Structure 1
Amino acid sequence: MDETDPDGDLVRRIGRGDEHAAEALVARKLPRLKALAARLLGDAAEAEDIAQEVFLRIWRHAAAWTPGAARFDTWMHRVALNLCTDRLRRRRELPLPENWDEADDRDAPDAALIAGGEQARVTAALASLPDRQRQAIILTYYQELRNAEAAVLMGIGVDALESLLARGRRALRARLMEEGDD
């Protein structure tokens, strides 16, 4: 077993084609990967697609993985984060439908918040944050990564991450207080 990386032994075994090692890694990592993707994308089905793609990449690249540069878990989270970012970019690039400016006669957006309770309020407030702030909060609070690990995943310094966290928390607090006043 690799002393520096708790997943090192499994990854090496996967690199040799060990299906049992792949099953063990999936059992160990799948819930956190799906939770990360679901929080970033807001869609459970897309989160499952992302997790599946991450594990396919692990299977394909495990033989070439070399320990030491970064923990395997950090690399895996980076892959998931990149895939989620790509999905979010593609969503924004979709052309608007012809009737995009017609009146929307569905329930008001706050109706779902009132009906869904506190968790729905927090989820909606989190979704309203800019992408980088949302990523920082999800990685540190929901994925329970240390600031240094989250900063590496996001490709920024710890100071920049802490700034994103501070701005994100302020924005969440303001959004939740606004909704509480309604």
Structure 2
Amino acid sequence: MTAPDTAASVPHPDPDAADIVRAAHGDQQAFARIVDRHLDRIHRLAWRSLDSRADAEEVAQETFLRAFGQLPDWTPGKARFSTWLYRVALNLCQDRLRRRREQVPVEDLDLADPGAAPDRTLEQDQRRQRVEQALRALPQRQREALLLCHFEGQSNAQAAQVLGVSVDALESLLARARRQLRAELAHD
């Protein structure tokens, strides 16, 4: 009889733990390391959720302001700090989306490759707009699950923890999101 695999049941240590303790005691360089470690991912998640670079920058800034305020009260072991940051960012995105009265058009799209043929560039831009429109049409929880797993590279377990659902529920959200996207983009 083999011994049970205890490595699978032992949680991985939080890579931010030491910097959290230092930053909570006023070490500005420790907090800067936390920001450097997570800013790009938080900004990218907000931008994909809100379709606005300006709004994404504001959400990222507010996320880290809240994080800074919570450092002295942070309880290690409940969840990774990065998981909590994603949840804060998603909540701030949801607040902004709720306040919008009408659909805001996608702005600040990435610039097309200047060397690409104009007809190819137009086709790629139109395809990207159709995909972004189909993503915006998804129910909020499905969109968030897809953003976390597909675009942010979170594991199903990490994304489930961010969203506060079971892994099975997350997988269901992903399956429904993919099914709806396929149906929306079938003519492409």
Structures share fold, TM-score greater than 0.5: yes
Could you say which residue in structure 2 is the equivalent of 1:153? 162
Determine which of 62, 78, 87 is the counterpart of 1:78.
87
Determine which of 138, 152, 156 is the counterpart of 1:143.
152
Q: Equivalences for 1:13-162 in 2 at 5 Å? A: 13-91=22-100, 94=101, 114=123, 116-162=125-171
Q: Please tell me the residue identity of whatever aligns with 1:12.
A: V
| Structure 1 residues 68-120: Cα deviation after superposition (integer angstroms, max 9, x where no partner) | 111111111111111111111122xx49xxxxxxxxxxxxxxxxx84614333
Paired residues, number: 160
Determine which of 156, 172, 178 is the counterpart of 1:169.
178
Percent same amino acid among aligned pairs?
Answer: 50
Q: Which stretches of structure 1, 4 residues or more, deviate above 6 A after TM superposition?
A: none
Q: How far apart in 1 are the matches of 2:128 and 2:176?
A: 21
CA shift for structure 1 position 152: 1.6
Structure 2 portions without partners, runs of 5+ = 1-11, 103-121
Superposed CA RMSD in Å reads: 2.1
CA shift for structure 1 position 122: 2.1
- Under a length normalisation based on structure 2, what TM-score does the superposition of the two structures give? 0.78
Between Structure 1 and Structure 2, the one with more helix by share is 1
- Under a length normalisation based on structure 1, what TM-score does the superposition of the two structures give? 0.81
Alignment of 1:4 onto 2:10: no
Q: How far apart in 1 are the matches of 2:79 and 2:21?
A: 15
